[in-house]
A and B are shown apart, each in its own frame.
Chain A
Amino acid sequence: MKGIIVVKVDRCLGCKSCEIACAVERSRSKVLSEAIHEHPAPPKGIWVEKGNTFVTPLQCRQCEDAPCLTVCPTHALHRDDRQSPVLIDGGLCVGCQLCVLACPFGVIRMDDDLHAIIKCDQCSQRVSDGETPACVASCLTGALEFKRIEDVLQEKKEAYLLTIERSAETREL
């Protein structure tokens, strides 16, 4: 399924389960108890950012017009089509870090220990196996969801209709 990771900010408690799940998914063993002993430490591609009054998970937005793709001189960053995640081909990457500096959201980074650029690949392997991305699967409150764009639009339409209906009801009262 081609989809996007949707964040419901009001549901995030800041437990960082997604950060751990992301790193475990990127580890060699893919098991938490072993991943914590791995060296170099498995990286994460999601950040739980704390604001003054709220917390929210942040990861690659998979921009439609992705600046990282535009600046990459070797096409190491690539995607199949506009709805697919931006992936990195480590064999082509020369580590120039233009993508790191181009990303408006600051969610691409160079991992010096792993000698590689780390970004969210939307767990493309898991998704092609019919699972949801690791961060989404680990989220206890449903703050992270993996959905098709059409479904997100449909939900928004329904929510909007509901607000109209409710405001009509209150007027009648």
Chain B
Amino acid sequence: MKETKNIIFTLDGREAEARPDETVLSVAKRLGVDIPALCHHQAVTSYGACRLCVVEVKKGKRTRIVTACIYIPADGDVVETGNERVNKLRRIILELLLARCPEVDLIRSLAGQYGVDASSRFRVSGSAGAGERCIICGLCVRVCAEVMGQHAIGYANRGGKRMIATPFETQTEDCIGCGACVFVCPTNALHLEDIGGKRVMKELYTSMPMMKCTGCGREFATEKQIEKVRHCLPAAHDKIAMCPSCRRAAFRDAAGQALI
């Protein structure tokens, strides 16, 4: 039989209980302990990319630094989420993030909270720094692959040139234009715009045709999004090609008919 005993450990001086597969970050959230994290989302597997959620774990005489979003505590662990060593590390991480993305409000406000000087002492090479907003946390990549099942985006290049991109930096057939990547991006590095009957995501080299509502003629979703909904709903209703406001009108009229 599978072991289902909960783990008892110490979190910031108080006793905490974790389910066998629960991470420190999840327990901390449950108990109202604030740990900053940029690359974490409940709907996808943790990746430990942004490193902001670092915490200190003491086990007997050993002390080490781990990322709270990945680390699964063991019985008797003593976890400290905001001591001097942890805060010092977070300050360095924020300085590095700030050097790469000086214009991102979220990073600036976090840096302010931790008392990091707005002008970072680190210098970046290449294109990063000027207008760069992506911290390569990979939330978009994970959401696209794990949640939507589309695998439309991934990482390109290595080292300082690493970036989020579609294969060969061209429009990909796999993208349905749902905008989940844009929604989850913590730093607003991705953008989605509906212009001239097309859904444009310029950072992802994507411009795809949208569907016109059969009621009012307004473009309301991409053709591939509708295809996806049809696929998920085998018994799709007849209003699938209508925009939400026309669907409301159709229902209203049906209710009116019933009155007569």
**Residues of A with Cβ closer than 8 Å to B?**
7, 9-10, 47, 49-54, 56, 58, 67, 70-71, 73-74, 76, 91-98, 100-109, 115
CA separation between A9 and B252, bound complex, in Å? Answer: 10
- Whether B184 contacts A95 by the Cβ 8 Å rule is yes
Q: Is the CB of B244 within 8 A of A71?
A: no
Q: Return the CB mask of B154-193 against A: 1 if under 8 Å, else 0.
A: 0000000000000000000000001110111000000000
Known: A74-B147, A91-B42. A49 touches B178 (CB 8 A): no
B248 touches A105 (CB 8 A): yes
User: What are 20 of the A-B contact pairs (CB < 8 Å)?
Assistant: A9-B256, A9-B259, A49-B249, A50-B252, A51-B253, A58-B251, A70-B233, A76-B43, A94-B143, A94-B183, A95-B180, A96-B147, A96-B148, A97-B178, A98-B228, A101-B221, A102-B233, A104-B239, A106-B245, A107-B248
CA distance A56 to B248 in the complex (A): 10
Find the residue from B41, B246, B251, B253 having the highest chain A CB count within 10 A.
Answer: B251
A50 to B229, CA, bound (A): 28
Contacting residues, chain B, for A101 (C-beta < 8 A) = 221, 225-226, 229, 240
Q: Which B residues form the contact surface with A (CB < 8 A)?
A: 41-44, 143, 147-149, 178-180, 182-184, 221, 225-226, 228-229, 232-233, 237, 239-240, 242-249, 251-253, 255-256, 259
Q: 7 smallest A-B Cβ distances: which pairs?
A: A95-B183, A106-B247, A106-B244, A49-B252, A74-B43, A96-B180, A106-B248
